[in-house]
A and B are shown apart, each in its own frame.
Chain A
Amino acid sequence: MVISPEARARIDAEIAQYPQRRGALLPALHIVQSELGHVAPEAARELAEIFGIRPIDVMEVVSFYNMFYATPQPRHHVYVCTNLPCSLRGARGLLRGLEEHLGVDDHGNTGDGRIHLGHEECLGACAYAPMMRVDERYCEDLDLEQARRIVDALE
């Protein structure tokens, strides 16, 4: 079993809120991922059993959504928003500066397993651009210097 009893209890509490079990699949995937970092095949099999669906049904949901990962991930995700409002205020330069600083390409991982750096579509922070999402946290009104300091502080 890769899904812990604690996570299982949280999943069951989610299921209880829905008229059909499968309604709780996205919440369950969030729970599993927050515990394991990604949704491995074994976790998908266990989820399929919990929800009475096939593992492929779980995996097609995982692959449809940007925020679910089927493979092991670095410890942190850093996404620079590069949609139009952010690009108008220098987001692309910020992304390039971070790529150079971390020695990775857009959508690359640092060699030490610390950071995945990528670009992301509009994050709803258009007036506070440029900005980036660091895991669950928004860092807004950035310049390159501040952005560098933020990624350097990630363990």
Chain B
Amino acid sequence: MLKVPHVTGYLSEHFADDAFATLEGYESKGGYEAARTALKKMTPAEVIDLVKRAGLQGRGGAGFSTGLKWSFMPVQSDGPKYLVCNADESEPGSFKDRILLERGSHQMLEGILIAAWATGAEKTFVYVRGEYAYPAQQLERAIEEARAKGYLGNKVMGTKFSHDVVLQRGAGAYICGEETGLLESLEGKKGMPRKKPPFPAQFGAFGRPTTVNNVETFSHVPHIVRRGAEWFRGFGTEKSPGTTLFGVSGNVVRPGLYELPLGTRLDEIVFQHAGGVPNGRQLKGVIPGGMSMPILPAGQIDVPMANEFLRERKTMLGTGGIMVMDDTCCMVRVAEIITYFFRDESCGQCTQCREGTGWLHKIVSRIERGAGEKADLDVLLDVAAKMEGQTICAFADAAAWPVQGLLRHFRADFEEHVHQGRCPFPASFEL
């Protein structure tokens, strides 16, 4: 089945066309013109300034200003500087980077080329999650085409600038999506995140200044260079410009990708675009941005999908992976799946995370089996609070937040398990 977004925008408008994945097809839609403009007519500082003015924010989850990140790279350097493309997409609920690679690898490569020019990087390492065999194949083919055409390698497009792209495949570890875990993995080690500072812009891949950006972030860049900061700011909100690829999954009529402006309301995405909840059921809750982000109950999804609004409801945009749950769903089962995942994927480096994720899962399972006690609910919150902000990377926070969110909005589900001594949702999805 062809995987293309149900609603397209500038990133995905040609994704239904197989030719767009080829260099020829991409160029027929104006592809690589932006790179030519940047490399031949703009200084690196001008490119960084343009991306800053456009207000592009990283699309890998943290939402940091891309232009600002690029500006952290030292201009003068006594050796090579690198870019890293984070294609380790593994936040549950997220599948946009996969489709961006499968259908638009050249678009991302063009963004990489422009970013490389802006930051003076001589090489980009693209780290693709190990399970993404087909997306990696598509990217490898695009890299070869670009090399053959002189768009990668020595003297790119006849300029003095040289740049090459190396693809590395991961091997199944969620933590390698964390940027310094990724750098460790790229260096042939266990993917255990590094302490910061030093930040990657000072000490990154192989100890050199490095900028790490996500697949989608790079993919926006050619459009900004081609059509300008003002045009880009025409999409989205004042603080969160541009479109993004929302991935909708779970109990909806039309699961899939939707390219929509940031700030599109969550209820509009769930009910209008994705067709609402099937089988005559009612909505119970929605996780708005990948599994690490706290859930919102049905009554609170009248919110624009941009961090400045989601923060007011104690959640975030994350990767834009929207998971929809109907009213049969047991939220303790949801918690069990989430805590199992984080227990399984903790790299084990920090005590708070290694032990905390285990305890969260153990207690949630006990509640689901009907063996929980009333005090367990507060123990969960206590453990979560002691994990948050205490560790080398944000993984422990990502494990704590969804548990806090579920208890904030669905405490009654947990209490009912304890009270009845069994799961009170027989019609819920199976565990």
Contact = CB atoms under 8 A, between A and B. Distances in A.
Interface of A: 17-20, 22-27, 29-30, 51, 60-61, 64-68, 82-85, 87-90, 92-93, 96, 120-129, 133, 136-138, 140-141
Nearest to B334: A84
9 contacts: A18-B206, A26-B170, A64-B190, A84-B291, A87-B430, A89-B251, A126-B249, A128-B3, A137-B133
Given A88-B429, A127-B255, A128-B3, A64 B173 contact: yes
Nearest to B99: A124
B421 interface: no
B188 A84 contact: no
Contacts of B334: 84
B148 interface: no
B429 A65 contact: no
Contact of B345 (A20, A85, A121, A123): A121
Contacts, number: 154
Given A26-B170, A124-B89, 8 more contacts: A23-B188, A83-B341, A85-B250, A126-B95, A127-B95, A127-B249, A128-B1, A136-B133
B389 interface: no
Given A19-B206, A65-B173, A88-B325, A124 B132 contact: yes
Interface in B139-191: 166, 168-174, 185-191
A138 B251 CA distance: 21
B417 interface: no
Given A24-B188, A138-B134, A65 B430 contact: no
Contact of B429 (A64, A87, A126, A133): A87
Contacts of B249: 85, 88-89, 126-127, 129
Given A19-B80, A122-B91, A127-B248, A26 B168 contact: yes
Interface of B: 1, 3, 80, 89-95, 97-98, 129-134, 166, 168-174, 185-191, 206, 208, 247-251, 255-257, 287, 291, 321, 323-325, 329, 333-334, 337-338, 341, 344-345, 429-431
Contacts of A29: 171
A60 to B, nearest CB: 6
Contacts of A85: 92-93, 249-250, 255, 323
B288 to A, nearest CB: 13
B16 to A, nearest CB: 16
A131 B201 CA distance: 39
B283 to A, nearest CB: 13
A22 B189 CA distance: 8
Contacts of A88: 249-251, 323-325, 329, 429
Contacts of B250: 84-85, 88-89, 126
Contacts of B190: 60-61, 64
A27 B166 CA distance: 11
